[in-house]
Chains A and B, each alone.
Chain A
Amino acid sequence: MTPQELKNSILQLAIQGKLVEQRPEEGTAEELYRQIQAEKQALIKAGKIKKEKPLPEITEDEKPFDIPESWKWVRLGSVFCLEMGQSPDGSSVSETANGIEFHQGKVFFGKKYLEQSPQKTSAPTKIVEPNSVLLCVRAPVGKVNIATRKICIGRGLCSVFPITGMSADFVYYLLATFETTFIRQATGTTFVAITGEVVKNQPIPLPPLSEQKRIVAKIEELLPLIDRYEKAWSRLEDFNKRFPGDMQRSILQMAIRGKLVEQRPEEGTGEELYRQIQKEKQALIKSGKIKKEKPLPEITEDEIPFDIPDSWKWVRWGELSQSIQYGFSAPARQNGRIKMVRISDIQDGSVAWDTVPYCEIAENDIDTYLLQPNDILFARTGGTVGKSYLVQEVPEEAIYAGYLIRTRYSSLLDPEYLKCFMGSQLYWNQLRNGTIATAQPNCNGKTLAKMILPLPPLAEQKRIVVKLEELLPLCERLK
């Protein structure tokens, strides 16, 4: 139940006469109605209001619900003094005009009371008295506010003025329950609005005067409770929204901290794996397949954010990877030598191959930029900077564009484990260089090479991946 639903429900109860009990000693609405008519006649005689055409009787069909015996269905125009707004001459309206406060629509509506409008008009058309209730007749139709001072209203507003001792508060709550009813009757395409006729003729339930006051008092007793409800409900909503994401992050973090699955000594250590990978790299360098790189600095105590199992090892990506390579810069073409994957072609973790354009490229350059399964691509700029993508299949020959960085690595590493790392807080923190969470990530070859990650033995990497595949779909279900 949303707080709004709760509030609406209580207001609905109020105007059906079910919020407070009826008290015969307070008289009937019929009596009140006659008093109102008498006062109206007096006002007409005194020239305070215009003579009005009598409004038609209300038919049974027009009565949307049952009301207590002591109440009466009446038309809005017959029990209140209605005044449709009229826009003053444009030139007379400004913030510095010498005149009266002017409101066109709900721009300066508060929660219940009208706030100050900076606009003034020196040639007011329709002026309303303090204690009038303002109803929006132009979109958003149906909003209400109480005006506590004399103001001028434009075409977007209608003023409903209570007489015969009725209170603006009562009118305010009453009209609030008719918001949807008014909206349903609104017409027009460019300017959705309700007409004065619609407002005048709207059937409303009228309780006796004292009961009106008791209804208002009861509603206002309940309002603070509704506020408390809203506070708790919104916080709960927030928690529920955040929880699946938090769960996912927590599980990924557990995975790279070595707490998701147990360590098994027979699987070896991260140190052994690291040495195997270095040997592999040396062989590739010797045979000219990859470039020799400057050695990276030792990982210092300060850089290490958390403890990992003894059988694991902290390593830098540059030590594990065989290459970290920027993409090929060329304009995208409808036709060309070869397909070129750009950042924008990667959506939701997969490549939309039918949108991938072609480009021109020299034959002997292709090999350098050719994409292979298990390559990992990083966006080095743009809105998704730092986001990574594991190349799973390459249905047709393709290279990758300039704003992507591609890294290749030994087959002794599990690509899905690496993908897990690339989704972790540790990865993102390093891209942001340990600065605050809203800082722009900095993704370039240097930062990638320097990046540290925990290295478990290969068999354990695989077991972690299996476990993640079990757990992560469950997080999805929480959403």
Chain B
Amino acid sequence: MANLSGFVKRLRDIMRNDAGINGDAQRIEQIAWMLFLKVYDQKERDWEWDDENYVSIIPDECRWANWAHDDRTGRAMTGDRLLDFVNNTLFPTLKKLPVDASMPIKKAIVQTTFADANNYMKDGVLLRQVINVIDDLDLSDYEESHAFAEIYESILKELQSAGSAGEFYTPRAVTEFMAKMIDPKIGERMADFACGTGGFITSWLKELKKKVVTTDDDAEYSRSIYGIEKKQFPYMLCITNMLLHDLDVPQVFHDNSLLKDVLDYTDDDRFDVILMNPPYGGSEKADVKNHFPADLASSETADLFMSVIMYRLKRNGRAAVILPDGFLFGTDNAKINIKKKLLSEYNLHTVIRMPGSVFSPYTSITTNILFFDRTGPTEKTWFYRLDMPEGYKHFSKTKPMKLEHFAPALEWWNDRRPLEKDGFDKAKCFTAKQLSEELGYNFDQCGFPHEEEEILSPVDLIRRYEEERASLNAEIDRVLEEIKAKLGVKEL
């Protein structure tokens, strides 16, 4: 078994010397396509073993085993020759692989994964060194491949500190908590319509695995996930993640979930469970809004995703979604309508408020987990604030959030009672009527008392300011409309 513990460090040390790699995000992207090919190569061997008639979609000279593997006889490509091969043969070939609708997913993913991939490295000798480190992995060994899945997770975690690439990654403590509370069952299908690196999918699988007993169960297990990811880089990371988790036919698609008319969804498009952390402040073309009913159309992507989730949740299905404070306190027209729909057609039973540094250093905005199901309208909603654990001033790269930090919330979950801390509400129940009529759909309850104002990054600050300004302006507009109505046709 290769020495896995130094794997990431060795790669980092080699790649640091290549002028083409600028920053952590590019380094991870570079590792990603090579890992994908290595993992895929291992999978293909398994498939060839099971099926004599298996034919790879990858032409022979581009298969990892043929161009990447170094048998140490000196024949393996290196230096300029290797670079030339990768840039002028490998990539163009894989990008242009013929794929049609009838092609099985496990073959099609090669092309979809490579469609927008990039080779950043400029030094062929260093590239050879990196390839060898990766090739040393023995993924045919169950132990090693299992252990590597963990290493892979640690590579993904580095995204959280890699600038804007952090948007694809949700800390696993959070995904695991949400998967645990959603309580997967054999036979159910879950979806994540902005799956990023596949965190919710893997956490769901981890929870569901505990319930697998028979081979039929196993088959259901493998069919239980569905993901959509718009961006190339995380899509590639997610596919590799799926392969590492033994999902040979990952139902994960490279697509934009917001481009289909929500009113066109049928029961076939609906899922028993939805787990998501939708992107906020995303940039979409203005006509994306055309796919939504006018009263729900918003420029905020998180709002649009909430609508997609509501339209794609099966009757009696359940969902857990991470949303920023802006959604909770926002009262612009779209948000009010979305929240109205949420309370009147769905049962929003729990809102967990998380502390600010959960996603640090990517962002320090405060986020919340909304748990709801489609069993009927909301009668009451419990709010619970998860405080920073003892001894932590904030989470950071060296002191990340762990699943055990959710223990107080877990304990409270099954024995819900109102709580107060230092004079501020920590857990409280509100009826749907209170939330709608008295509080005007402002769900910002049991929030964090702002003793030490966390300084937001300028982008987050601007976003929050724009949210507040939009909400207040919307409120002002509403009042003025009512005033105008009461004045009749008179002019102010």
Partner of A437 from the list B360, B452, B461, B487 (CB cut-off 8 Å) is B452
A222-B486, A236-B469 known; A305-B456 Cβ under 8 A: no
A247-B461, A307-B397, A307-B398 known; A233-B455 Cβ under 8 A: no
Q: Please, which residues of chain B bring their CB within 8 A of the CB of A307? A: 161, 360-361, 396-398
Nearest-CB distance from B283 to chain A (Å)?
20
Kindly state whether residue B457 has any CB partner on chain A within 8 Å.
yes
A225-B479, A225-B482, A307-B397 known; A13-B461 Cβ under 8 A: no
Q: Please, which residues of chain B bring their CB within 8 A of the CB of A218? A: 486
Instruction: Give the dominant DSSP class at B's interface.
Output: loop
Nearest-CB distance from A439 to chain B (Å)?
12
Q: Please, which residues of chain B bring their CB within 8 A of the CB of A221? A: 486
B465-A232 in contact (CB<8A): no
Q: Can you list 14 A-B contacts with CB-CB less than 8 angstroms, sorted by A residue number?
A: A10-B483, A10-B492, A21-B488, A236-B469, A239-B465, A247-B458, A250-B455, A262-B23, A301-B398, A301-B399, A302-B393, A306-B394, A307-B361, A436-B452
Within 8 A of B (CB), among A224-245: 225-226, 228-229, 232-233, 235-236, 239, 243
A218 to B490, CA, bound (A): 13
Nearest-CB distance from A258 to chain B (Å)?
10
Most buried by A among B396, B469, B483: B483
Most buried by B among A232, A239, A305, A436: A232
Q: Please, which residues of chain A bring their CB within 8 A of the CB of B476? A: 229, 232-233, 236
Which 6 residue pairs across A and B have the least CB separation, nearest first? A232-B475, A236-B472, A253-B455, A229-B479, A250-B458, A250-B461
Q: Please, which residues of chain B bring their CB within 8 A of the CB of A236? A: 468-469, 472-473, 476
Kindly state whether residue B51 has any CB partner on chain A within 8 Å.
no
Kindly state whether residue A37 has any CB partner on chain B within 8 Å.
no
Q: Please, which residues of chain B bring their CB within 8 A of the CB of A259? A: 457
Q: Mark A257-272, 1 if CB is under 8 A from B, else 0.
A: 1010010010000000
B479-A243 in contact (CB<8A): no
Q: Mark A287-313, 1 if CB is under 8 A from B, else 0.
A: 000000000000001101111000000
> Nearest chain-A residue to B461 (Cβ)?
A250
Nearest-CB distance from B247 to chain A (Å)?
33
Q: Please, which residues of chain B bring their CB within 8 A of the CB of A253? A: 455, 457
B394-A239 in contact (CB<8A): no
Question: Size range of the interface on A?
Answer: 35 or more
A243 to B456, CA, bound (A): 12
A250-B455, A305-B394, A306-B394 known; A232-B492 Cβ under 8 A: no
A239 to B476, CA, bound (A): 15
Q: Please, which residues of chain B bring their CB within 8 A of the CB of A246? A: 461, 465
A454 to B476, CA, bound (A): 44
Q: Please, which residues of chain B bring their CB within 8 A of the CB of A18? A: 490
Nearest-CB distance from A233 to chain B (Å)?
6
Q: Please, which residues of chain A bring their CB within 8 A of the CB of B457? A: 250, 253-254, 259
Kindly state whether residue A36 has any CB partner on chain B within 8 Å.
no
Within 8 A of B (CB), among A414-471: 425, 436-437
Instruction: Give the dominant DSSP class at A's interface.
Output: helix
> Nearest chain-B residue to A301 (Cβ)?
B398
A9-B455 in contact (CB<8A): no
Kindly state whether residue B451 has any CB partner on chain A within 8 Å.
yes
> Nearest chain-A residue to B456 (Cβ)?
A250
> Nearest chain-B residue to A429 (Cβ)?
B452
A267 to B155, CA, bound (A): 26
Kindly state whether residue B103 has any CB partner on chain A within 8 Å.
no
A221 to B452, CA, bound (A): 41
A249-B479 in contact (CB<8A): no
Nearest-CB distance from B298 to chain A (Å)?
20
A379 to B366, CA, bound (A): 36
Q: Please, which residues of chain B bring their CB within 8 A of the CB of A437? A: 451-453
Q: Please, which residues of chain A bring their CB within 8 A of the CB of B472? A: 232-233, 235-236, 239
A250 to B456, CA, bound (A): 6
Kindly state whether residue A19 has any CB partner on chain B within 8 Å.
yes
A425-B455 in contact (CB<8A): yes
Partner of B458 from the list A19, A222, A251 (CB cut-off 8 Å) is A251
Kindly state whether residue B181 has any CB partner on chain A within 8 Å.
no
Kindly state whether residue B480 has any CB partner on chain A within 8 Å.
yes
A436 to B422, CA, bound (A): 15
Q: Please, which residues of chain A bring their CB within 8 A of the CB of B482? A: 225
Q: Mark B458-472, 1 if CB is under 8 A from A, else 0.
A: 100110010011001
Nearest-CB distance from A234 to chain B (Å)?
10
Q: Please, which residues of chain A bring their CB within 8 A of the CB of B397? A: 307
A356 to B340, CA, bound (A): 65
A6 to B488, CA, bound (A): 16
Nearest-CB distance from B120 to chain A (Å)?
15
Q: Please, which residues of chain A bring their CB within 8 A of the CB of B361? A: 257, 306-307
A265 to B19, CA, bound (A): 10
Q: Please, which residues of chain B bring their CB within 8 A of the CB of A254? A: 457-458
**Given known contacts A10-B483, A13-B487, A235-B468, what 10 new A-B pairs fall within 8 Å (CB)?**
A9-B492, A10-B487, A246-B465, A247-B458, A250-B455, A259-B457, A305-B393, A306-B360, A307-B161, A437-B451
A301 to B465, CA, bound (A): 33
Partner of B465 from the list A13, A243, A249 (CB cut-off 8 Å) is A243
A229 to B474, CA, bound (A): 11
Q: Please, which residues of chain B bring their CB within 8 A of the CB of A249? A: 455
Q: Mark B177-214, 1 if CB is under 8 A from A, else 0.
A: 00000000000000000000000000000000000000
A259 to B161, CA, bound (A): 11
Q: Please, which residues of chain A bring their CB within 8 A of the CB of B475? A: 228, 232
A254 to B364, CA, bound (A): 12
A306-B396 in contact (CB<8A): yes
A251 to B461, CA, bound (A): 10
Q: Please, which residues of chain A bring their CB within 8 A of the CB of B461? A: 246-247, 250
Within 8 A of B (CB), among A1-40: 6, 9-10, 13, 18-19, 21
> Nearest chain-A residue to B450 (Cβ)?
A437
Nearest-CB distance from A268 to chain B (Å)?
14
Q: Mark B96-130, 1 if CB is under 8 A from A, else 0.
A: 00000000000000000000000000000000000
A251 to B456, CA, bound (A): 9
Within 8 A of A (CB), among B433-452: 451-452
Within 8 A of B (CB), among A199-227: 218, 221-222, 225-226
Q: Please, which residues of chain B bring their CB within 8 A of the CB of A305? A: 393-394
A226 to B487, CA, bound (A): 13
Q: Mark B368-399, 1 if CB is under 8 A from A, else 0.
A: 00000000000000000000000001101111
A226 to B482, CA, bound (A): 10
A225-B486, A246-B461 known; A239-B468 Cβ under 8 A: yes
Within 8 A of B (CB), among A40-54: none
> Nearest chain-A residue to B471 (Cβ)?
A232
Nearest-CB distance from A19 to chain B (Å)?
7
Nearest-CB distance from A475 to chain B (Å)?
9
A306 to B363, CA, bound (A): 12
A228 to B481, CA, bound (A): 12
A13-B492 in contact (CB<8A): yes
A226 to B462, CA, bound (A): 29
A436-B458 in contact (CB<8A): no
Q: Please, which residues of chain B bring their CB within 8 A of the CB of A304? A: 396
Nearest-CB distance from A161 to chain B (Å)?
31
Nearest-CB distance from A467 to chain B (Å)?
12
Most buried by A among B22, B399, B472: B472
> Nearest chain-A residue to B465 (Cβ)?
A243
Q: Please, which residues of chain B bring their CB within 8 A of the CB of A226? A: 483
A218 to B455, CA, bound (A): 46
Nearest-CB distance from A441 to chain B (Å)?
15
Within 8 A of A (CB), among B279-296: none
